[in-house]
Structure 1
């Protein structure tokens, strides 16, 4: 396999890839949690939340692919699997039995938390000269913040 030559040092590529791994795991866990809530939401806002959760988990699944492919572009294997994600993710799974409003509140908080994690990764990437990974984190922060706003708007 040819050496990766992106104009970044080996150390920079490694640091950025390592910072993206937990963000990948958190995106995957958030997608799974959102999908679970999509299936299990009940109440007066069922249709709207079922649709909202559906769009959000689909967007998260697409983001998982983008983040994993960025890690691969940097020349490192993308982490995968529940055991690995369980070790490196910071978000937590749903306990089950949440009301529709608790679902919205949990997902909004998780999206906000992930915005903060992406912000740290962006700052690292940009400090190491990796504008592309920084841009990806900006895209993720924008999408996650918008998702959190939409979720909070349902609760009032």
Structure 2
């Protein structure tokens, strides 16, 4: 059965490509936040350990929301590390940085994801896809707020 939701196939493909980048950013941030939760040390251990846990849990749920939106558009969602690695611009952390670098990296990652969410919004608005605009706007707000909260720790 063909998908007939009022958005042309070409437009759905364009939006799904942007959403796939957002999914890759989300999953990359999830993985980094979870690793930092496990490995944080230092004078702010307790507060950062708890904060990172809250953040990775939110990102885990967000990844599912983004992937399901891609499927609503009748496009298959990426789901492998290699696919995510090609789609995201968030840098992988192969080691264990100190707490301050962890926070800096997460700020940068959330800012990248906010920019990606803005690209989703542009593509979705151009196609009249209010569902994707709404979902991406929520993600944009979440990434901006998280970046602000993390950035506040560094002042």
1:82 aligns with 2:84: no
- Aligned position for 2:152: 153
Alignment coverage as a number of residue pairs: 155
Distance in 1, matches of 2:71 and 2:65, equals 10
Structure 1: runs of 5 or more not aligned? none
Query: TM-score when scaled to structure 2?
Result: 0.97
- Aligned position for 1:114: 113
Asked if structure 1 preserves the Cα contact closer than 8 Å seen for 2:114 and 2:140, the reply is: yes
- Aligned position for 2:127: 128
Structure 2: runs of 5 or more not aligned? none
| C-alpha RMSD of the superposition | 0.9
Asked if structure 1 preserves the Cα contact closer than 8 Å seen for 2:28 and 2:90, the reply is: yes
Alignment of structure 1 residues 6-155 onto 2, 5 Å: 6-155=5-154
CA apart distance, 1:97? 2.8
3-state SS in 1 of match to 2:153:
helix
Distance in 1, matches of 2:150 and 2:34, equals 14
- Aligned position for 1:3: 2
Distance in 2, matches of 1:28 and 1:78, equals 12
CA apart distance, 1:22? 1.4
* Runs of 4+ residues over 2 Å off in structure 1: none
Distance in 2, matches of 1:136 and 1:37, equals 27
